[in-house]
Amino acid sequence: MKVCVVGSGGREHALFRALSATAEVVVTPGNPGIPSSLSRPAEEIEADLYVIGPEAPLVDGLADRLRARGKRVFGPGANGARLEGSKSWMKEVLAAAGVPSARHAVFSDLGGAVEYLKSTPGPYVIKTDGLAAGKGVLVTASLDEACRDVEDKLAGRSFGGAGSTVVIEECMEGPELSVLAICDGKRAVPLAPAQDFKRVFDGDRGPNTGGMGAYSPVPRAGDAVVGQVMDTCVEPLVAELVRRDIDYRGVLYAGLMLTGEGPKVVEFNVRFGDPESQAVLTRFDGDLAGFLAEAAEGSLRSEPSFSGQACVAVVLASAGYPEAPLPGGMIEGVTTAEEVEGVTVYHAGTALDEGGRLIACGGRVINVCALGADLGVARRRAYEAVAHISWPGMHFRTDIAASVAPPEPDEVSR
Ligand code: AMP
Ligand code: GLY
């Protein structure tokens, strides 16, 4: 089977690697880490299966355009991708489906939004309605900061048109969890769960990012928790999509909070999570191309299976990320990092300069993923590999999976 993956980040690099186990894979536009990168639009590439990575082309209807040409596509059409394209619409669908989620209100006018904020006790959660690459959310205890954020979003200063409508939510509490489910339009099957790290700095401080690291499996989310997420969150959503005549074939990515009242949905995304997929797909065992093709055909039959090993993914980012990433300099040490046992290095925001040297050119630049017998071993290997990589201004979190990794033998003896 020939597969065409659309996208250029670490997620697409991980898709390339996992799909290559059983298929011939090309990636458009790809990146310097992916040997079969092509700079032609997907519509001009012949393939048996198209897998669309990022949300923007899905919201823009790329899956519909390919299907209109008779292609087999893994990724929802624009009507399903609206779940991610409009948070207010997603909240309406979740409410209709009876999926537990934060109470919310939607505003396009500043007066109404400020009045509402003043009437609630806080902390305040303010989101852009439209796409903002994971960065459009402010969670704050300060009413002043909340009011300023609403003003900046509605005026188009912080997120342009994506912020012309804002969603204000009740603040939920509890550990977060990502469950990616593969949906064939009628039913959905979960992949191994993952934990994402959204804030830029150690200890979950600083602004939200697209994700600074991930790990899988998640000790607190065994089969019972994943079963509960499927029963109360994913399956009711699939039923509601069917009821609305939306033939959703792609990933339903549930961003969840495990609250005292059970799992609640923070949001649904319509694609593989980044960097969760790097951690999850590196553990995928078997024929991913065949599995996604079944979903694309509307008839999932296989069950996904995962290596018993754990995986930890650490994101290396450019100076200034997430607010204003600076293009970095030359990246050193990738080859040495790849020599560490269990390690795969995925490229995200890299480029080649005129001399063919690898340079940093985006916010999230490199993802270092390591497999190991448990999360402790995977984590040690990941950070050992990270220590080999550098470029001016590179930064990363040092606490990915720290709270769930068993202590290393040398830590126990100290
Ligand atoms: P989102 O882009 O909607 O996934 O939100 C980004 C992050 O903001 C989430 O991963 C949470 O950490 C936080 N967040 C979003 N919505 C809420 C909420 N209603 N209550 C508490 N935290 C939230
Ligand atoms: N890791 C968060 C996301 O993919 O949106």
Kindly state if the Cβ of 137 falls inside 6 Å of ligand 1: yes
CATH 3.30.470.20 segments of the chain: 173-297
Looking at residue 122, its pLDDT comes to 80
How far does the centroid of ligand 1 lie from the alpha carbon of residue 273, in Å? 14
pLDDT the model gives residue 14: 98
Atom number, ligand 2, closest to the C-alpha of residue 273: 4
What is the per-residue pLDDT across 247-256, written as a single tens digit (0 to 9) for each? 999 999 999 9
Element (H, E) at 412: helix 409-413
Q: What is the pLDDT of residues 34-82, one digit of tens each?
A: 999 999 999 999 999 999 999 999 999 999 999 999 999 999 999 999 9
Q: Which fold has domain 2-77?
A: Rossmann fold (3.40.50)
Per DSSP (E only), the strands in 240-329 are: 249-259, 262-269, 284-285, 305-306, 310-317
Q: Which of 167, 266, 270 for a ligand 1 pocket mutation test, highest count of atoms within 8 Å of Cβ? A: 266
Sign of CA dihedral 86, 54, 361, 369: positive
Pairwise CA distance, residues 203 & 290, whole Å: 40
What distance in Å separates the CA atoms of residue 208 and residue 240, rounded to the nearest whole number? 30
* pTM, entire model: 0.93
Burial profile 85-116: b = 16 or more Cβ within 10 angstroms, e = fewer: bbbbebbebbeebebbbbebbbbeeeeebbee
- Residue 130 has what pLDDT? 80
| Residue the block writes with tokens 């393939």 | 47
* Range(s) within the chain of domains with CATH label 3.90.600.10: 310-413
pLDDT at residue 301 in the model: 97
Q: Which ligand is nearest to the CA of 274?
A: 2
Q: Classify domain 109-164 at the CATH topology level.
A: Dna Ligase; domain 1 (3.30.1490)
| Alpha carbon nearest to ligand 2 atom 3, residue | 273
pLDDT at 97: 98
As a CATH number, domain 173-297 is: 3.30.470.20
Which residue of 84, 268, 276 sits with most ligand 2 atoms within 8 Å of its CB, as the best mutation to test the pocket?
276
Per-residue pLDDT at 408: 67
Q: Tell me the fold of 310-413.
A: Glycinamide Ribonucleotide Synthetase; Chain A, domain 4 (3.90.600)
Q: What residue spans in the chain does CATH classification 3.30.1490.20 cover?
A: 109-164
Q: What is the mean pLDDT of each run of 10 residues along the chain (414 residues)?
A: 98 98 98 97 97 97 98 98 93 96 89 89 88 80 91 82 84 94 98 96 93 97 97 98 98 96 95 98 97 98 96 97 89 98 98 95 95 97 98 97 80 50
Shortest-distance atom of ligand 2 to CA 275:
1
Start-end of CATH 3.40.50.20 domains in the chain: 2-77
